[in-house]
């Protein structure tokens, strides 16, 4: 009986729907494992389709195409180690989330996901059927149990595998990032190890898909919960993991451990990676954005430069008569520090033309929010014209605080294809700017140093749509607003919860009202990377028409 078992863990970045491309990545991974003498090459959950493929996997033609690629992959990887890969699996009228073991030119065995997540960003109950509790599969003379992602968050699957002869657990995942997720994963997997007494290998994918970013950070635990392998977060990596048979069972050989980044670094990496992959997977090469001289557009410009390189970022200043000299100076300073193109496009003449056109209809009426929004929508029109002309994707720059309460103009500054800071509250934007000014990493394509001047970070936030305008004229101060939003949005709390936290009831009611009446704006807003479990889109889904308000 063999006393060593080698698994090649492939922490890779698939693209949803790119079956040929994902299969090519699988072949590369298998070749690396074969060269290293692996017994098994393992890829994450649903790797052949990319994850989260949502309703795409319910399309019959897609399922057939998947199996065509799986069959070809099995044939190409016949002479060497077994290959484990996640894929949808149809049996009759049922569709399963499966983990397939390819060996000897065919599908040698399969595991079917039993517990289907039906919360936050996952809707697997409406897509897949629940597989039965099953036993382990064999690779050589070694029996392996593979609870698929959510299955490892519930004790019964791992316990059934252990009771039916599994010698260790290999858990394939498509587990997206949110702040604090790594600790949650680790605690859950340690629990499975303690319950079963088996080593556990947790394999996660990396890369961005729409609003989700998969952060990798795959690891292996020995009985007792001791960490033996820790792969890097966010980076693609192929790692060969050895297990040695001992009198007590298999044990994972100790390797040097990678460290998980701090919350601020992880959030920033998610925003950079989310934009980078959104661009590469949709085919865009360049971006542009309106650079106002404010903090939100400054951090978005920096994220863009770090994601795709400053040479691929166009910053556009679109001043009106309300734009201060300080904003002009600050915007140019950001573009120059980053090394991005900087265009100056005044909107005064265009705004006057629109004012003249509307004058007969608006005669006798006082200027109000309408005229302010004309400025924002004119900027949106001009930016979209540049986007169309030059083939550059427009980035929108509204932070989560503004997105939550509708402090943004639909078809104006909300115009754009992607919003890197959509799930970042304003107060955290300030912290992130300071973090980026003080830190630089190899995965950043922008320059090191202070990219966002202190004058931008310290000046009072303003939309500059009228004389002496400040955000605080319309909204509570951001520390208070963000604290209430965290209660009402992220924690799905109540007005009474806000009052208990020390906030004025009337102010909390106003914030709640703004959240609800802004739903229609969010429904039409650009996607952005998910940083929390309270992100707008799949995490939080409310009706647009909604007359209910918290009576407490």
Catalytic machinery residues: 45, 113, 149
Place of tokens 């859950």: 188
Structure tokens at 147: 């609870």
Which candidate, 455, 457, 439, places its Cα nearest to that of 447?
439
- β-partners of residue 250 are 245
SS3 content of the chain, % helix, strand, coil (to 5): 40, 20, 40
Classified as helix, coil or strand, 289 is: strand
Q: At CB < 8 A and 24+ separation, what contacts does 455-463 make?
A: 455/326, 455/329, 455/330, 456/293, 456/294, 456/295, 456/298, 456/330, 456/334, 457/295, 457/430, 457/433, 459/326, 461/294, 461/295, 461/426, 462/294, 463/372, 463/376, 463/407
The answer to whether 251 and 374 are in contact (CB under 8 A) is no
Interstrand relation of 237-246 and 249-252 (parallel, antiparallel or unpaired): antiparallel
Whether residue 119 contacts residue 18, with contact meaning beta carbons closer than 8 Å, is answered with no
Is the separation of the CB atoms in 447 and 498 below 8 Å? Answer: no
Closest CA to 540 of 550, 532, 548: 532
Q: How many helices (H) and strands (E) would you count in the chain?
A: 17, 19
DSSP 180: T
The owner of tokens 């209910």 is 548
Instruction: Please check whether residue 290 is in contact with residue 384, taking contact to mean a CB–CB distance below 8 angstroms.
Output: no
Phi, psi dihedral angles at 251 (to 5 degrees) = -135, 140
The DSSP output letter for 54 is G
Q: Which of 483, 374, 351, 473 is nearest to 425 (CA)?
A: 483
Beta strands in 140-191 (DSSP E): 142-145, 168-173
Task: Yes or no: say if 549 and 512 are a contact pair by the CB < 8 Å rule.
Answer: yes
The backbone torsions φ and ψ at residue 2, rounded to the nearest 5 degrees and listed phi first, read: -65, 140
């Amino acid at each position: 009986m063999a006393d060593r078992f080698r698994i090649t863990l492939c922490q890779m970045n698939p693209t949803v729907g790119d079956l040929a491309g994902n299969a090519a990545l699988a072949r590369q991974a298998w070749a690396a494992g074969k060269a290293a003498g692996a017994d098994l090459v393992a890829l994450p959950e649903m790797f052949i389709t990319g994850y989260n493929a949502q309703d795409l996997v319910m399309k019959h033609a897609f399922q057939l195409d998947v199996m065509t690629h799986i069959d070809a992959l099995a044939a190409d990887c016949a002479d060497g180690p077994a290959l484990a890969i996640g894929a949808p699996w149809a049996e009759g009228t049922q569709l399963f989330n499966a983990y397939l073991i390819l060996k000897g030119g065919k599908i040698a065995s399969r595991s079917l996901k039993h517990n289907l997540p039906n919360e936050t960003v996952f809707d697997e109950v409406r897509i897949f059927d629940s597989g039965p509790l099953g036993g382990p599969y064999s690779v050589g003379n070694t029996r392996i149990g593979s609870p698929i992602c959510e299955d490892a968050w519930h004790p019964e699957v791992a316990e059934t595998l252990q009771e039916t002869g599994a010698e260790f657990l290999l858990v394939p995942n498509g587990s997206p990032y949110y702040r604090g997720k790594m600790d949650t994963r680790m605690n859950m997997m340690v629990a499975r190890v303690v319950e079963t007494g088996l080593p556990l290998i947790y394999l996660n994918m990396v890369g961005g898909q729409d609003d989700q970013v998969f952060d990798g950070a795959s690891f292996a635990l020995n009985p007792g919960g001791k960490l033996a392998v820790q792969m890097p977060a966010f980076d693609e990596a192929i790692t060969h993991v050895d297990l040695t048979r001992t009198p007590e069972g298999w044990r994972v050989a100790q390797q040097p451990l990678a460290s998980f980044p701090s919350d601020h670094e992880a959030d920033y990496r998610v925003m950079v990676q989310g934009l980078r992959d959104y661009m590469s997977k949709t085919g865009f090469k360049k971006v542009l954005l309106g650079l106002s001289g404010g903090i939100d557009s400054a951090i978005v410009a920096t994220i863009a430069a770090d994601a795709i390189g400053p040479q691929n970022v166009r910053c556009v200043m679109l001043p009106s008569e309300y734009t201060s000299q300080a904003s002009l100076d600050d915007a140019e300073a950001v573009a120059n520090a980053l090394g991005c193109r900087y265009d100056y496009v005044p909107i005064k003449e265009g705004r006057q033309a629109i004012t003249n056109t509307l004058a007969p209809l608006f005669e006798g009426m006082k200027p109000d929010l309408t005229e302010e929004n004309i400025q924002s929508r004119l900027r949106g029109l001009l930016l979209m014209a540049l986007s169309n002309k030059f083939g550059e994707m427009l980035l929108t720059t509204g932070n989560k605080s503004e997105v939550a309460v509708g402090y943004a103009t639909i078809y104006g500054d909300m115009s754009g294809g992607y919003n890197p800071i959509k799930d970042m509250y304003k107060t955290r934007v300030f912290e992130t700017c300071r973090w980026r000014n003080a830190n630089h990493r190899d995965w950043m394509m922008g320059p090191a140093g202070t990219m966002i001047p202190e004058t931008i970070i310290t000046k009072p936030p303003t939309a500059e749509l009228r004389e002496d305008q400040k955000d605080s004229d319309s909204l509570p101060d951001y520390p208070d607003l963000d604290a209430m939003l965290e209660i009402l949005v992220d924690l799905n709390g109540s007005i009474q919860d806000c009052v208990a936290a020390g906030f004025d009831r009337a102010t909390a009611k106003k914030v709640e009202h703004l959240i609800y009446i802004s739903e229609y704006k969010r429904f039409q807003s650009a996607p952005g990377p998910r940083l929390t479990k309270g992100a707008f889109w799949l995490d939080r889904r409310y009706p647009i028409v909604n007359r209910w308000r918290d009576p407490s």
